[in-house]
Structure 1
Amino acid sequence: MTTQSPWVEVACDESGFSGTNLLDPASPVITHASVDLPETAAAELIDVLRTRLRRRTEYKSNQLLRPEQRPALEWLLSSLRGHAHVHSIDKSAYVAARVLELFTEEPSYGAGTSLGVDHSEVVAALRHRTGFLAAFVDLTRTKRVRLLDHAALDRFFATMPADVPALRAVTRARVEVVMQRLIDEDPALPPPLEPLVPALAETVLYWSAGGRSVAVVHDEQSALTPGRVARLGEYLAQRFEPAPLRSFEQVDSKHDPRVQVADFLAGIARRRRPDLVELLAPYTCAATKSSQV
């Protein structure tokens, strides 16, 4: 009988991250991929791909998606079986859920993950209300903002759908209080427009499997600040033992082949092509409950 290691190290990268521009129809999904490969194994994979793609330096997932590279694509995905995972988030659904998570409940670092409240029914009614979602995004962009934008607040309420009962709990007084906390950079509030934070949480929960701690090596990403990662780790530690997030390190992907492999997988999964569904099935999972549609 083999004994499961008390911790695992995974390397991560994303594809489709667009900052606060979450409603761009050209980039509707963000994928967060992770692999638990040793560095030597990842380097061997990259060397083979470099040879097959006939590229010495720069290589991207879209090159693997060309018809003539189908054998290389299938080889890569088969090589990763049992050592990789992809978490996907529909950005419009994420924004729709954030309205409720921010303005109808006490925001937490579990919001937007499987640990949070299931808002899927309301999300289904809101995710195509682009005017309302755009007004919410505009309202909650608070970087370098020191005063509440009352014009943005007015637009948010003017575009709010009247036929969604759950939104009746979103009052102006409540929104003003939460917005002031965001403007004041209250550390207890998770960032409202950063899907990589819940994506990281879901990745950690997947690899922890209820009994392991996870050491994360991640491509450099400004959204995952030390403060946010620390608060996410604290939130998870309060709910699971051992603490799911063991450590978090950001690296330059050019110097870590494991992150390069994760980058390939994230880019492939983000395309959502019908001919990739079966190939990606072992690695993908549904988005968080509040993002499912």
Structure 2
Amino acid sequence: MPGPAVVVEIACDESGFSGTNLLDPASPVIAHASADLTRDEAAAVLATLRSRFHHRGATEHKAHLLLRPGQPEAVAWFLSELAGRSTVHVVHKRDHVAGRVLDLFTGEPSYLDGTRLGRDHGRAAAVLRGRTDVLAAFVAMTHLKHRRRPDPAAVDRFLALVPGVVADGVPGLAGLSRRDVVSVLDRLLDGDPAVPPPLEPLVPALAETVLRWSRGGRSVAVVHDEQSALTPQRTAVLAATLAAAVSPAPPPLLGVRQVDSRCDPRVQVVDLLAGWARRTAGPAA
């Protein structure tokens, strides 16, 4: 009989969240960082930053303290302390939006979309990411907060712009009808748990982070900074979807516990890492 599943607990945080403003050129990426440090190990890292690198007086460490001018030694030391104990997943928001256009309207949406287990749209997504007009129309159309039904004008704008073929020999959204679009939007408005939120890149970023740590044979318990995108329903559906996708391997995600970053040194450490990663990632080509 197989032995009990190996469980690893990781702390996670993000940098670059901009709400539904996913096409802001000033914030082109979101970085999702994670580490498997213990609370004592993370506290020791923060203590060294305070004593050795003059972050005195900081009750909560933020990336601007680590990345301010004159801190290259602090950055080098910090990254060396996390070597082999951390990961960073960077999402280019424009790529995320292009992928979600195709995910929603070329097949059944899934919480695997946007991860290594999801569909690969290849050249179609690569070409579509350059169509800022289409992406902006999609974001406006799927921003459904405080709405009871889809906005007909927003649907019209999207359908008028969306390409049937995005490049020579690359199928896009040929044959997409108003009924198709409204059907998906209605599912989002009705809270269909099978449809992931299209404007929340943090959800697939968390999934990809968990898959990296799981390595096909471990289960991951997540401690995460408080994020409104990670609702209990969404994380439960994500956990079930990942488990079904990798079965009979152990379920990758055991659960997500959200904490106040000021109360957990592990989350403060990964916040620093995420901030560094976002600052150094630069804009997508």
TM score, norm. by length of structure 2? 0.91
Q: Which residue of 2 aligns with 1:108?
A: 110
Q: Which residue of 1 aligns with 2:66?
A: 64
Question: Against the structure 1 CA distance between its residues 180 and 273, is the aligned structure 2 distance closer, same or farther, given a 3 Å change threshold?
Answer: closer
Partner secondary structure for residue 227 of structure 2: coil
- Asked whether the 8 Å contact 1:31–1:267 carries over to 2, the reply is yes
Amino acid at match of 2:13: D
Amino acid at match of 1:228: R
Amino acid at match of 2:183: V
Shift of 1:173: 2.0
Which of 225, 230, 238 is the aligned partner of 1:232?
A: 238
Give the Cα separation in 2 of the matches to 1:273 and 1:203.
17
Q: Does 1:7 align with 2:7?
A: yes
Give the Cα separation in 2 of the matches to 1:4 and 1:232.
22
Question: Against the structure 1 CA distance between its residues 98 and 257, is the aligned structure 2 distance closer, same or farther, given a 3 Å change threshold?
Answer: same
Q: Which residue of 1 aligns with 2:80?
A: 78
- Asked whether the 8 Å contact 2:219–2:250 carries over to 1, the reply is yes
Amino acid at match of 1:33: A
Q: Which consecutive residues of structure 2, in runs of 5 or more, have no partner in the other structure?
A: none
Percentage of matched positions with identical amino acids: 58
Q: Does 1:266 align with 2:274?
A: yes
Give the Cα separation in 1 of the matches to 2:94 and 2:189.
23
Q: Does 1:256 align with 2:264?
A: yes
Question: Against the structure 1 CA distance between its residues 208 and 25, is the aligned structure 2 distance closer, same or farther, given a 3 Å change threshold?
Answer: same
Give the Cα separation in 2 of the matches to 1:273 and 1:248.
26
Q: Does 1:215 align with 2:221?
A: yes
Shift of 1:144: 2.0
Q: Write the deviation string for residues 139-171 of structure 1: whole angstroms up to 9, x where unpaired.
A: 001122111211000010122235513121433
Q: Write the deviation string for residues 113-152 of structure 1: whole angstroms up to 9, x where unpaired.
A: 1111111311211112111111000000112211121100
Q: Which residue of 1 aligns with 2:172?
A: 166
Amino acid at match of 1:8: V
Indicate the larger mover: 234-243 or 50-59.
Answer: 50-59
Question: Against the structure 1 CA distance between its residues 95 and 255, is the aligned structure 2 distance closer, same or farther, given a 3 Å change threshold?
Answer: same
Indicate the larger mover: 186-195 or 219-228.
Answer: 186-195
Indicate the larger mover: 214-223 or 155-164.
Answer: 155-164
Q: Which residue of 1 aligns with 2:206?
A: 200
Q: Which consecutive residues of structure 1, in runs of 5 or more, have no partner in the other structure?
A: 275-291
Q: CA RMSD in A?
A: 1.9
Partner secondary structure for residue 167 of structure 1: coil
Count, aligned residues: 274
Q: Which residue of 2 aligns with 1:288?
A: none
Give the Cα separation in 1 of the matches to 2:176 and 2:76.
48
Give the Cα separation in 2 of the matches to 1:103 and 1:167.
7
Give the Cα separation in 1 of the matches to 2:150 and 2:205.
29
Structure 1 residue ranges (4+ consecutive) displaced by more than 6 angstroms after TM superposition? none
Q: Which residue of 2 aligns with 1:286?
A: none
